[in-house]
Each structure stands twice: as C-alpha cells, then as structure tokens.
Structure 1
Amino acid sequence: MPIDPTVAIGSPVGEVEFSWNQSDVLLYHLGIGAGSREGDNLSPDALRYTLDGPALQVLPSFGVVAPTFHMTDPPPLDLPGCDINLAQVVHGSQAISVSAPLPTSGSATIRTTLTDVWDKGKAAVIWQEGVATSPAGEELWRVRSSIFVKGEGGWGGDRGSSQAVEIPDRAADCDVAYDVTPQQALLYRLCGDRNPLHADPDFAKAAGFPAPILHGLCSYGIVLRELTDALLGGDATRVTGFGARFAGVVFPGETIRVQGWHEDGRLVASATVAGGPRDGSPVLADCWVDLA
C-alpha cells in the first residue's frame, strides 16, 4: 500500500543544517502581514517586527519555517514508507515550543522523525516531530506537525486521538480582524514554500479549489501576530509555544477574524473568515498559546 506504518513510524526523516539573519526575520514578518496597517511605518510597536536593529523581535512561529526558508523548489514529500504526492496533501496541524526567545540571527540543525500514522478511513494523518539545536547542542525549539493525505486511509490502522481546545463561554478578550492582501500568498511563498497550490491558478483548480489559497502557515503566523499584539502588548518574548489545527482555507483578499481569550494562564483562540459569502468559515481551530 502507498503508506506502510511499520516502515514509517519511528523513521528519521533526516537532518538539515540552516542559518538565518535579520533580513529573513523581516521578510517573514512582512509575509504574515506585519506593518500593513495605516500608521505602522511610524509605530514603534509595529516596527519591532519590521525594522532591523536592537529592537527587532522574532515571533516564535518563525522557527517553523526557518529550516526551509531559503528553499526555492516545491516542498519534497520523500517520507520513509509513504508513497504520496503533493496534490493529495493538506497541512493538518502545527505546533512549536521554544526554549527561549528566538534570536534575530543564528544557525542550527533540525532533526525530524515520523512519530505516528493514523488511519482516518478516507485519509491518513502523518505526524512528524523536529528538534532544532544550536551548534553547541542546546535545544532551541521543537516542532510537531501533521499532514492530511487524502485517499490513503482504510487499512484498519490506529485512528489516533485528538484533544479539542475549549473556547470559553464568555465575550472574547480580543476580537480583531486582518485583511489578507491580494498578493499575500505570492509574498509569503518567498519564505520557503513554493507549493504551486498557493500561486498557480491551474494547479489550484486541479486540486479542487477555484483559485490559489493562502498558505496555512501564513494564516498561522497572522493569527499568532494578532494575538500577540492584542493580548500581550506586542511582546513576542512572552510566547513559549503556539499550536493550531488547520480547519479551513483562506483566499487572498478575504479577512481573517481572530478572537482570543486569557484562560488558565495561557491564550486560547479561534480564527474564521469575516464577511463575504464565506463569512464564519473556519480558518484555525484548537488554537492555543503558551506563555512565559
């Protein structure tokens, strides 16, 4: 069969040595919409994302993309025991935890392992975990992600488990919106994800979408930035972890509504499309932020 869990689970995917600098951080922040609101070019708070110098900070979500930031080819799917193609794959979920605030430049090695394969009947879910370490061997951050592979379930394997993040039954502590620009996906793809699903109209139609969709990790970064600004005073160093499940798609030109709550020492949130014919459509679910 195309996916063999006995081969996949526990297999190392490989290791990647990489480095980043302030220009990479600035491009990433611009790709997730930092500095896009009127007056942001004059705001010290906004410039903490978009101006190089001693005040520059790094959103922890940058650690998810840093290892592949300079790649220009579509993302490979060379996974042990998994014979799948890019058109079958949807990003399922993503989480990152950081050991300390990320520096604006540095180098690291990330080692990634396939940890689980779930059988959802009409699809498979493949989980990976990566650990990024400094040249001195110190853990910098840890990422965990899943991909949803359409048409590859049904072998009678473990269905897996999930733990939903409960949204409080009260008014949100923040309720903000971000207008996705028409060129947002074209800008964000310069952050190392050249999947044609986000740029090529013909490829998107072949995959079942009427037009290219925004990268899930772009929505992921937008939501973390909005929560950080609205509930943490814009202080990215307070974020020690961030995770979410990708619950729906966003098209460039739409608006993402982000609602967030302080709950039990962390943040929980929801993200939906606001306005237009898809008003209320989910974007991110089971969304949480751990705090220092």
Structure 2
Amino acid sequence: MHLAKVRDHRFAPVEHRFDARDTILYALGLGFGADPVDPAELSFVYEDGLKAVPSICVILAHPGFWAKQPEFGIDWVRILHGEQSFEIHRPIPAAGVVHGEYEIEAVEDKGAGKGAVLHQVKRLRDASGCLLATVRSVLFLRGDGGSGGFGTSPAAPAPLPDGTPDAVVELSTLPQQALIYRLSGDYNPIHADPAPARAAGFDRPILHGLCTMGIATRALLRARAGNDPARLTAMAVRFSKPVFPGETIITEIFDQDDGGVRFRCRSKERNVVVLDRGHAAITG
C-alpha cells in the first residue's frame, strides 16, 4: 500500500438523487413486505406514506470501489468489510438529493503479514447542506500490513454481555435475496455469480454484509422501535461470518440501562454468529 497516497487522498463530493422507487427497492432487498398485510412493514414498501429504513444511509452517495485504483497500491482482492456504523442526525427522506463527503480518518498497521485496518467516514448532507447522517466503515486490508499508519483509530466495539437475550427476532431470507439487494448499487459478482464466489472461497454466492446489517435493522425496528424509523438513531455492527441467501437470521437483543440495545445475529441453519458486537441507540 502506498500510505502517503491513501493519507493525502481527497474524495470529490458524491451527489445522489433517489426517489420512492429506490427507497422501496432497498427495503424489499431487506425482506420488508414479506407479510403483505402487515401495515407496519407496508409503510417501508408502499409509496403512500412511505418511510425510509434508517440503514439506507449506508448506500446513499457511495463513492465506488476507490481502493481498487492502482495508485493506492492496495491488495484490493483481499479486502474484508470489518465493521459498519451510522448515526442519524436528521430523518432520512424517502426521496430527494443527498451529498456524501468522504475522508479516510486513520490506517492502523497491524504489522507485516498481519494486515492493516482502514477507517473511513462519510458525512451525508441534504441539498441545503444540513447533516443527515455520519456513516463509518472499517476495512480490513489483509494484504497491506507493514506499510505504516496514521490518524487515531476509534475504539473497538466491546463484546456482548453474558446471559439470555431480552428479545429474539427470526427473519427468513429468500434464495434470491442477494439478487434483489444488489439492485440498490452493490454489483460485486460474488453475490450473484457462482464462479467468482468460488474463486473467493465460497461454494455459492453470499449475501451482502450490508444487507445482513439491514436485516438486523429491520429486526430492531420491529422489536424495540415500533417500526418507527425516527426512533432508531444509531447503529453499529461487526461482520463476523457471511450469510448465504435462503438462511434464517436470528437477532438476539440485550436491553441496556441507557435505553439502547446490544445485539448479535446468527444463521439459524448453521448456528454461527454472522454479525457481532452490535449496538443501537433507540429513543422514546
């Protein structure tokens, strides 16, 4: 990795125009509307009174796969999406124009042969310049250890508490879930084409990590926010294992004294944790 190039890179602002169809398609990619007579879920997939799922902020105004550009010298084939978080400052509209401002906050060098951790932040603003959301992502650069680092890395999320969850939500995914979700903008072939998936080490296409996060968002909205997106103001997850389309995702929720929650998600069929160390802020 050419550390100076990464450190000094300045992203051009990204403008994203989206409409009700885009918002509905994103929600359908998370499985909203599975029960077509459930009015609480219908509000996310029907244009009359449409609401945006809060986690849509992670896909709006995306800068593209910048790490693949050769001037950065990043071993992009070996990148893993490690963590993702968002904080909502103003409700995300169901349609409109937003602008994404990106910067790389820090690179943490784990040492030669051990990889590096890159911290990236997006500030999502509306057309008037008001801040809607702060979105952070953590990338594990498995092939770029020993290149040095810069900046101050945020603290790692704490492990979940011991004990029995206070709530459990089971949500099924469709065999074609990744084929629907990718229409919201992530066309990585490992989510659609068996051949690239096998080359990446999977026996079949996997679900997008951000789709799994969105399904966890759906579970939290149902179990702790009355399906009111305005009440879910922040969320963070660590990606631990991939999900295969068609699996059932179990979200285990632990209530906290401050009104927020900790959570994790597991594949019911394989009994493996797929999202870990999750936390969310829920108001009201």
The CA distance in 1 between the partners of 2:107 and 2:131, in whole Å, is: 26
The CA distance in 2 between the partners of 1:162 and 1:81, in whole Å, is: 29
The CA distance in 2 between the partners of 1:87 and 1:16, in whole Å, is: 24
Q: Give the corresponding residue for 2:211.
A: 218
Task: Tell me the TM-score normalised to structure 1 length.
Answer: 0.88
Q: What is the letter of the counterpart of residue 82 of structure 1? A: F
Among 134, 143, 146, the alignment partner of 2:135 is: 143
Unaligned runs of at least 5 residues, structure 1: none
Unaligned runs of at least 5 residues, structure 2: none
Q: Give the corresponding residue for 1:153.
A: 145
Give yes or no for contact 1:271–1:283 (8 Å, CA) kept in 2. yes
Q: Structure 2 vs 1, CA of residues 77 and 117 (structure 1 numbering), >3 Å: closer, same or farther?
A: same
SS at match of 1:50: coil
Q: Give the corresponding residue for 1:205.
A: 198
- Name the % identity: 35
Query: Does residue 170 of the first structure (1) align with residue 170 of the second (2)?
Result: no
Q: Give the corresponding residue for 2:274.
A: 283
Query: Does residue 44 of the first structure (1) align with residue 39 of the second (2)?
Result: yes
1:210-249 map, 5 Å: 210-249=203-242
1:52-91 map, 5 Å: 52-54=47-49, 56-68=50-62, 75-78=65-68, 82-84=72-74, 86-91=76-81
Number of residue pairs matched? 279
SS at match of 2:93: coil
Q: Structure 2 vs 1, CA of residues 142 and 156 (structure 1 numbering), >3 Å: closer, same or farther?
A: closer
SS at match of 1:87: helix
SS at match of 1:202: helix
The Cα offsets for residues 203-231 of structure 1, whole Å up to 9 and x where unpaired, read as 11111111111100000000011111012
Task: Tell me the TM-score normalised to structure 2 length.
Answer: 0.91
Q: What is the letter of the counterpart of residue 111 of structure 1? A: E
The CA distance in 2 between the partners of 1:94 and 1:164, in whole Å, is: 11
Q: Kindly state the Cα deviation for residue 145 of structure 1 after the two structures are TM-superposed.
A: 0.5
Give yes or no for contact 2:2–2:74 (8 Å, CA) kept in 1. no
Q: Kindly state the Cα deviation for residue 161 of structure 1 after the two structures are TM-superposed.
A: 6.4
Q: Give the corresponding residue for 1:134.
A: 126
The Cα offsets for residues 81-127 of structure 1, whole Å up to 9 and x where unpaired, read as 63235421221111111112111111121110011112234222211
Q: Structure 2 vs 1, CA of residues 22 and 75 (structure 1 numbering), >3 Å: closer, same or farther?
A: same
Q: Give the corresponding residue for 1:195.
A: 188
Query: Does residue 123 of the first structure (1) align with residue 115 of the second (2)?
Result: yes
Q: What is the letter of the counterpart of residue 30 of structure 1? A: L
Q: Structure 2 vs 1, CA of residues 43 and 16 (structure 1 numbering), >3 Å: closer, same or farther?
A: same
Give yes or no for contact 1:9–1:114 (8 Å, CA) kept in 2. yes
Q: Give the corresponding residue for 1:9.
A: 7
The CA distance in 2 between the partners of 1:82 and 1:138, in whole Å, is: 32
Q: What is the letter of the counterpart of residue 238 of structure 2? A: R
